[in-house]
Each structure stands twice: as structure tokens, then as C-alpha cells.
């Protein structure tokens, strides 16, 4: 809701003055235009269509993921399009192209919203939605539209550790290639010590927040990956003991995605009460080390750098979303608050309002250079 929108801090907000010229420029104006910095690719505001800040924040973060932008803006997606569900992916490609290559300082995501809203009517309502749920719907729809089937290969050669045996996905898309990871759960019966394993794919990791006031992202990760003992009603059936037993469960990452998205579980349910945790979570901009949580044989790129953040201000059912994104062309951080766009220093990227964090294990290249006409 606009009333809860935070005011931009004057000390660091440098609002862009965009040179938009409708009339043919005269000679001095043209010289001035040449001297002024060109419009930044991917630095484009998004119109709010009535409480659609959750959608805008997610679109900005996805627009900062260069390999994804490249795939859509270059038209590569067209050959992968499935016949029966083209609308969402096509509309997504249009909005990404407008945001990346367009000449307007501001774009309307209306066509994209209509495409998604025809499948999920909740997104057509003028009510606030959860940005994390919206992100999952978008990624799922894009995957469905662009997936390719692969024959399942038999087990990989060599003796990969049993706990880390790879389940080979039978469907892949640009979404699974970039965002899909896999968790491996080891489940041990505490009576007979028999161990079983279970794999689960993820695109967003929902992390618990272990403190009400202040903690680090590593604290949240440790909390997620620590061993959990299931007792009483949560006991699991052991096939060796043939009864329910106390069980120790521990998760580890058996496939780390190129881009890992963390959802900080700020919306907490205490019985019938819901509340928002306003914990100040410290997260690194560079070199987030996931080594302790990745199965040893799959530790290829354990270091991650932050590329985008979704912020949430206000309360559970209202509030306002904004995004901070690192631009792959300028390497600078920008704050996106619907139509308002400003460059921010690196030191302003860490705030207590962070709700979703996007980390990449590889530096992004510039997707597509804008052609000067």
C-alpha cells in the first residue's frame, strides 16, 4: 500500500534524469545528448497496476539475471516454446525486452500480468500477494512452457557416494538449468542406525530465522541444514525395525544451482497468530560460502555473489515490495520502487527489510548490447 511506502533516503538516492527526446534534436541538443550517459540497459521502472509491487519486484530481480534475459531477449526461447502454453513465456519475453532494450524510462507489465492472471486469477485482483509465491508461479510457468524431455540416463559411471547419487531430471528448461538445485536428506533410525536417503529438487530455499533481533545469513543456513531429531508424533517408520522410531534427519545440497534463491521466513505462524519477524539479517554481497552444506563431490562452485534482493516493508497482509538489483553492464546497484529507480551504493544493499536473496555462483556477462540506430 502506498501509505506504507518508505521515503527514499536523500543521502544516497541519485535519481536518473533520462534524456527522452520526442522532437528531432537540433545540433547543440544532439551534442548534449551524445555527451550525456546513454540509457542504462535493464535500468527501467515498472508501473504499478494496483498493488502489483510484488510482481514488479520479482520482474526486476529476474531482469537482473543476465543469462535469463539473454535467453528471452535474443529470441532463443522461441524454439523451445511448447505449443499449448505460450502466453506467459511470450509475455515474459516482451516485458524483459522492453526493460532491457526499450527506450522508455518506465514499462507497464500489463500484458504479462494478464497472461499469468488468466491461469491464476489471484494475480488479477488488486490485492497484495506474496512475492515468493508469485516467483514460484512464474518460474513454474516458464519451465512448463519451455521444458524439453530427455531420456533418463542410467546411473552415472564410477562410484558416486550413495548419499549423493544423482537423480537425473527427465525434463529441463532454462529455468531448471539456472535455478534448480537438489537437496539430499539422510534419514537415520536412531534405534538400528539404518540410513535411508531421499532427494528433493528446489528452486527457492525457505530459511528459518533463528533470532528475533539480529543474525547472519549463515546462522539461517546452519539452522536449515542442522540435524533434526524427529520424536513423538513425528517419528518415521523404519523398514528394518518395522515400527515407527525416533529418526535423525539432515539435509545437504546434492546439486547446487547456478543461481540460488533464499526466502527468509519472516512470516511466522505461532498457533493461530501470524507475525512478521523484523530480524536484521546480515548477508554478504560477495563470497557467500556454501561449502559446509554441499555434498563434497558436488562442490564445484561453492562461492556465491549477491545479484538481487526483494525487500518487504510493512505488515503481513499489506506492505510494500521493492527490489535492489546489480546491473551487469554498469556493475552498480539500483533500487527499484515501481516507477522510481535510483542508483545506490553497495553499502545500502544490506537492510533489515530483505525478504528474498538471489545469489549467483558465476559473474554475469552482458546479455545483449543495444544497437545504436
Q: Site residues (CB under 5 A) for Zn ion?
A: 189, 191-192, 194, 238, 240-241, 245
* CA atoms of 100 and 369, how far apart (whole Å): 10
Phi, psi (5° rounding) for residue 260? -105, 130
* CA atoms of 18 and 252, how far apart (whole Å): 47
Q: Is 282 a catalytic residue?
A: no
* CA atoms of 72 and 100, how far apart (whole Å): 10
Q: Nearer to Zn ion by C-beta: 178 or 190?
A: 190
The CB-of-189 to Zn ion minimum distance in angstroms stands at 3
* CA atoms of 372 and 370, how far apart (whole Å): 6
Q: Grid coordinates standing for 223?
A: 539452522
Q: Nearer to Zn ion by C-beta: 161 or 192?
A: 192
The CB-of-248 to Zn ion minimum distance in angstroms stands at 11
Parallel/antiparallel/unpaired status of strands 354-360 and 340-344: unpaired
At residue 198, the 3 state secondary structure works out as strand
Q: Are the C-beta atoms of residues 265 and 209 closer than 8 Å to each other?
A: yes
Query: Which of 21, 53, 143, 325 does the annotation list as catalytic?
Result: 53
Residue 271 burial (C-beta neighbours within 10 Å; 0-12, 13-18, 19+):
exposed
Q: Nearer to Zn ion by C-beta: 80 or 230?
A: 230
The CB-of-188 to Zn ion minimum distance in angstroms stands at 9
At residue 113, the 3 state secondary structure works out as helix
* CA atoms of 223 and 48, how far apart (whole Å): 36
* CA atoms of 46 and 340, how far apart (whole Å): 8
* CA atoms of 109 and 113, how far apart (whole Å): 6
* CA atoms of 16 and 41, how far apart (whole Å): 13
Q: Is 163 a catalytic residue?
A: no
The CB-of-225 to Zn ion minimum distance in angstroms stands at 23
Q: Grid coordinates standing for 79?
A: 524454439
Parallel/antiparallel/unpaired status of strands 280-282 and 288-289: unpaired
Count the Cβ atoms, other than its own, within 10 Å of residue 83.
Answer: 6
Query: Which of 143, 263, 312, 320 does the annotation list as catalytic?
Result: 320
Report the C-alpha dihedral over residues 130, 349, 17, 103, rounded to 10 degrees: -50
Q: Hey, which residues are catalytic here?
A: 53, 320
Amino acid at each position: 500500500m502506498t501509505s506504507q511506502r518508505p521515503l527514499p533516503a536523500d543521502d544516497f538516492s541519485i535519481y536518473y534524469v533520462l534524456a527522452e527526446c520526442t522532437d528531432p534534436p537540433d545540433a547543440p541538443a544532439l551534442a548534449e545528448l551524445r555527451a550525456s550517459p546513454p540509457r542504462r540497459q535493464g535500468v527501467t521502472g515498472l508501473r504499478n497496476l494496483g498493488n502489483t509491487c510484488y510482481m514488479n519486484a520479482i520482474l526486476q530481480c529476474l531482469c537482473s539475471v543476465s543469462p535469463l534475459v539473454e535467453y528471452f531477449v535474443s529470441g532463443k526461447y522461441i524454439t523451445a516454446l511448447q505449443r499449448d502454453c505460450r502466453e506467459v513465456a511470450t509475455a515474459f519475453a516482451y516485458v524483459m525486452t522492453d526493460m532491457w532494450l526499450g527506450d522508455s524510462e518506465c514499462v507497464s507489465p500489463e500484458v504479462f500480468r494478464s497472461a499469468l492472471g488468466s491461469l491464476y486469477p489471484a494475480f488479477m485482483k488488486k490485492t497484495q500477494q506474496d512475492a515468493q509465491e508469485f516467483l514460484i508461479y512464474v518460474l513454474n510457468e516458464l519451465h512448463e512452457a519451455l521444458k524439453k524431455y530427455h531420456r533418463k540416463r542410467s546411473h552415472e559411471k564410477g562410484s558416486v557416494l550413495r548419499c549423493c547419487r544423482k537423480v537425473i531430471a527427465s525434463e529441463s528448461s532454462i529455468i531448471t538449468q539456472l535455478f534448480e538445485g537438489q537437496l539430499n536428506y539422510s534419514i537415520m533410525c536412531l534405534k538400528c542406525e539404518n540410513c535411508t536417503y531421499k532427494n528433493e529438487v528446489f528452486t527457492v530455499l525457505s530459511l528459518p530465522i533463528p533470532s528475533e533481533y539480529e543474525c547472519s545469513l549463515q546462522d539461517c543456513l546452519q539452522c536449515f541444514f542442522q540435524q533434526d531429531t524427529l520424536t513423538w508424533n513425528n517419528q518415521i517408520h523404519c523398514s528394518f525395525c518395522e515400527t515407527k522410531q525416533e529418526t535423525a534427519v539432515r539435509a545437504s545440497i546434492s546439486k547446487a544451482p547456478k543461481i540460488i534463491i533464499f526466502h527468509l521466513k519472516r512470516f511466522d505462524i505461532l498457533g493461530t497468530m501470524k507475525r512478521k519477524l523484523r530480524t536484521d539479517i546480515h548477508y554478504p554481497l560477495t563470497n557467500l560460502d556454501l561449502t559446509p552444506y554441499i555434498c563434497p563431490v558436488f562442490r564445484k562452485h561453492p562461492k556465491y555473489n549477491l545479484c538481487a534482493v526483494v525487500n518487504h516493508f510493512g505488515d503481513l497482509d499489506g506492505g510494500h515490495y521493492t527490489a535492489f538489483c546489480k546491473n551487469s553492464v554498469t556493475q552498480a546497484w539500483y533500487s527499484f520502487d515501481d516507477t522510481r529507480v535510483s542508483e545506490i551504493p553497495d553499502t545500502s544493499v544490506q537492510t533489515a527489510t530483505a525478504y528474498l536473496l538471489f545469489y549467483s555462483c558465476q559473474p554475469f556477462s552482458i546479455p545483449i548490447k543495444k544497437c545504436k540506430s
